[in-house]
Chains A and B, each alone.
Chain A
Amino acid sequence: MEYVVIAYLCLAILLYFLLGGADFGAGIVELFTSRKNRNRTRETMHHTIGPVWEANHMWLIIAIVILFVGFPRIYSVMSVYLHIPLVVLLLGIIARGTAFVFRHYDAVVDDMQILYNRIFVYSSFVTPLFLGIIAGSVLAGKIDLQAQDFMSAYIYSWLHYFSIAVGFFTVALCGFLAAVYLVGEATERRDKDRFIRKAISMNVAAVICGALVFLAASIEDVPLVQWIFGSVISLTAVIAATLSLVLLWYWLSQGKAKKVRVLAGFQVTMILLAVGYPHFPDFLMVQGGQNLSLLQHQAPVGTMVALGWALLLGSLLILPALFYLFYSFQKKAPGYLH
């Protein structure tokens, strides 16, 4: 049963990255859109992510609940040593979620909209940045469980080149996912072309940030290269992601929205697989190599069995409803009004 739980943990992280990521990305795209086009972008965005954004962020809650029920030691170590970036992440989440809803549901449309929009776009940037910083810190192995002073316990555990590079890489990927998603949702040709250009520039940014991640890994002695080149699966995943870039650019230039969407999802999945697989079952890397493993630090068997069943039964309810939600609010779904 522990493998069922681990599979759901991976699924929740992946889906949060893809769906929640695209959602953050929409704000990033808005941030990097010229002033005259912002309203149009906002409009498309509201129709596309309005009905689904709340559901997209549920994956984070699912991942957190799996962590604290199934792997409490890992959750508690992360909570203690990554306290500060987690708090920033939370502030980002609360600011972004409320600003998105407030700007739509404020009955009076006036200058308050400027405030909501500002908060929305900046928190859309900061939140995935810190999400990436946290992901980078989980991998980097800079967490020192024996640390005695404040700086090494609570600051250097997450503040280093590697985590920051991963943070910017995450931001670029989110923007890329969102732009690709919006291409298929734009109702007018000029919007579609704009999103295609945005997708390409975000993609270029992601490739550059990806290279910076490798550079930072070598500066900080994170064994990223060993992980990827030491495992056939990781190496295949990285090669597949890189080669598919060519296809991606071709399809983007042709404006094939559906195909590009699938391919972008595929690339991000491959990237997560490449960095996540080689050190499995180790999940949280700490100094001195006493990494916290998902298998060693799992909850007692009774809990894992109950959690596994809860997830299996829960997904029977959730997944069909979620698919129907996405289906119903697509551009071409029956009854769509504009």
Chain B
Amino acid sequence: MDDFLAARSQMALSLGFHIIYACIGMVMPFFMAVSHYRWLKTDDDNFKNITKAWSKGVAIFFATGAVSGTMLSFELGLLWPNFMEHAGPVFGMPFSLEGTAFFIEAIALGFFLYGWDRFNRWFHWFTGVVVGISGLASGILVVSANAWMNSPAGFDVQNGEFVNVDPMAAMFNEAWFTQALHMTLAAFAATGFAVAGVHAFMIMRKQNVAFHARAFKIAASFGAVAALLQPLSGDLSAKDVAVRQPAKLAAMEAHFHTEASAPLIIGGLPDEANKKVDYAIKLPGMLSFLVHGNFTGVVEGLDKIPAEELPPVTVTHFAFQIMVGIGMFLVLVSLLYFGTLWRKKSWLNNRLFLWLFIIATPLGFLAVEAGWVVTEVGRQPWIIYGIMRTSDAVTPMPGIAYSFYLFTAIYVSLSVLVIFLLYRQIKMVPVLYDAKKESQIPS
């Protein structure tokens, strides 16, 4: 494996791993806060048990997210020293603020996890809310740094040096808002459906139904609201990308030729050599409509992009299709969920309904990963769009392939361990949280 490819793979793997833990770590505290609130208000011990059970999951995810995040702050330099040397002072502002937010999150989590029965109940609840808010702030700040790579701002380039640096302008670059909105909703949708799916499975097995039904409802409500809002945010993002990064949009859509009344291509096999897409469904004029708001506008294709600046089309297109397809599926499930809530049907006894949620368990995160691939692969060959190439940023150290193998082994074993631990947490729910044995709950 050549060193450049190994470095890219290692980075992709590290971020792909971290993104899951970061999403769960920033969204779950909100679920816990709701359940915790319900317990404080209603004294229904199921809610206390749900909060406690979730908080153990969060502790596992937060620790794994924190260590993998620490690794990333080093890997940026270990793999891309030239990028960091130039970009660090420009896009470092969100990272320094994120350091603060992350620190507060860690402090608040210490209070929350170890503070049961030790503090005023509402102070304890409040520390849980702080965990969520600071986690969310961390996430938005990191995405803002990534947005800068797509939409560089706040500096000028003179003789290869970055001058006239304005860190605030860099942080509030043109892409930060659309990207942060899209990522935040994605995190809520993915985590909501993943958690709801696990509880739906337990409901179907008729285990501790009172416990799992309450948990399911909280998670599913968050997930469904986020999934319904996500297409609107996606539309904003696509319009923004069309203006700033036409190459990325064209790759997402496998749109090879500049044309008016451009069709929206769904599915299909992009043929990069012959510049066409086989076996695709084409909706005439729809791409023009999505980009410009009318059916006749001209959409720039890949033919306008110089050959040495073309992103990989097939990967970007497939990833985009996966993301949108899953997004649409989750929208349908969400509509059904709200429909049943509205009609007050006894939906929890409906196996088909539960199965839909069980199927959706991993899908949200699959969509998150696919969206991540769209934005990162779609930016290639640039690490800073239009300014610095990824191949110019990579470390001079040889043998990165070995480092990649090592990190792969670590991440695979960690993933297996985390899944194993979650399995054991869920398996132990009847023992630890059975309402009848409330008095035996270990603190």
Interface residues of A, Cβ cutoff 8 Å to B: 50-52, 54-55, 57-58, 60-62, 64-66, 68-70, 72-73, 75-80, 83, 86-87, 89-91, 93-94, 97-98, 100-102, 104-108, 150, 153-154, 299-300, 302-303, 306-307, 310-311, 313-314, 317-318, 321-322, 325, 328-329, 335-337
Contacts and interface: CB of A to CB of B under 8 A. Distances in A.
B392 interface: no
B284 interface: no
Contact of B92 (A65, A325, A328): A65
Interface stretch (B68-76, B296-304, B314-322, B379-387): B68-76
Contacts of B399: 150
Is chain A's binding surface mostly helix, strand, loop or mixed?
Answer: helix
Contact of B63 (A79, A90, A101, A329): A101
B12 interface: no
A108 B428 contact: yes
Given A65-B92, A107-B428, A310 B100 contact: yes
Contacts of B194: none
Interface string B378-407: 000000000000000001111100010010
Q: Which of B76, B84, B117 has the most CB of A within 10 A?
A: B84
A311 B89 CA distance: 15
Is chain B's binding surface mostly helix, strand, loop or mixed?
Answer: helix
Nearest to B113: A51
Contacts of B114: 50-51, 329
A306 B95 CA distance: 12
Contacts of B119: 328, 335
Given A72-B85, A76-B85, A318 B74 contact: no
B170 to A, nearest CB: 9
B63 A98 contact: yes
B73 A61 contact: yes
Given A69-B96, A76-B77, 20 more contacts: A52-B110, A61-B102, A62-B99, A68-B88, A69-B92, A69-B93, A75-B84, A79-B395, A83-B395, A86-B74, A90-B71, A94-B70, A98-B414, A102-B417, A107-B427, A154-B397, A306-B167, A307-B93, A310-B97, A328-B119
A77 B82 CA distance: 9
B417 A55 contact: no
B66 A107 contact: no
Contacts of A104: 59
B68 A306 contact: no
Contacts of A300: 89, 163, 165
B118 A102 contact: no
A310 B397 contact: no
B77 to A, nearest CB: 3
B380 to A, nearest CB: 22
A108 B63 contact: no
B167 A55 contact: no
Contacts of A62: 99, 103
B56 interface: yes
B92 A58 contact: no
A83 B109 CA distance: 32
22 contacts: A58-B103, A64-B73, A64-B74, A65-B95, A65-B96, A69-B88, A70-B89, A72-B87, A75-B77, A79-B78, A94-B71, A98-B63, A98-B67, A100-B63, A102-B421, A108-B427, A154-B397, A306-B96, A310-B93, A318-B104, A337-B117, A337-B118
B167 A303 contact: yes
A303 B90 contact: yes
Contacts of B76: 68
Interface in B85-129: 85-90, 92-93, 95-100, 102-104, 106-111, 113-115, 117-119
Nearest to B59: A105
Contacts of A89: 74
A213 to B, nearest CB: 25
A51 B395 contact: no
Nearest to B425: A107
A321 B107 contact: yes
B410 interface: yes
B78 A87 contact: yes
Contacts of B51: none
Nearest to B76: A68
Given A51-B110, A98-B63, A154-B397, A306 B88 contact: no
B424 interface: yes
B234 interface: no
B109 A54 contact: yes
B160 to A, nearest CB: 14
Nearest to B73: A64
A87 B399 CA distance: 13
B5 interface: no
Contacts of A83: 78, 395, 397
B26 to A, nearest CB: 15
B168 interface: yes
A52 B113 CA distance: 11
Contact of A318 (B69, B89, B100, B163): B100
B398 A150 contact: yes
A106 B78 CA distance: 33
B92 A302 contact: no
Given A75-B84, A76-B85, A302-B166, A105 B99 contact: no
B328 interface: no
B96 A307 contact: yes
A70 B90 CA distance: 10
A16 to B, nearest CB: 12
Interface in B2-58: 56
A94 B165 contact: no
Contact of A311 (B90, B96, B108, B443): B96
B395 A58 contact: no
B395 A94 contact: no
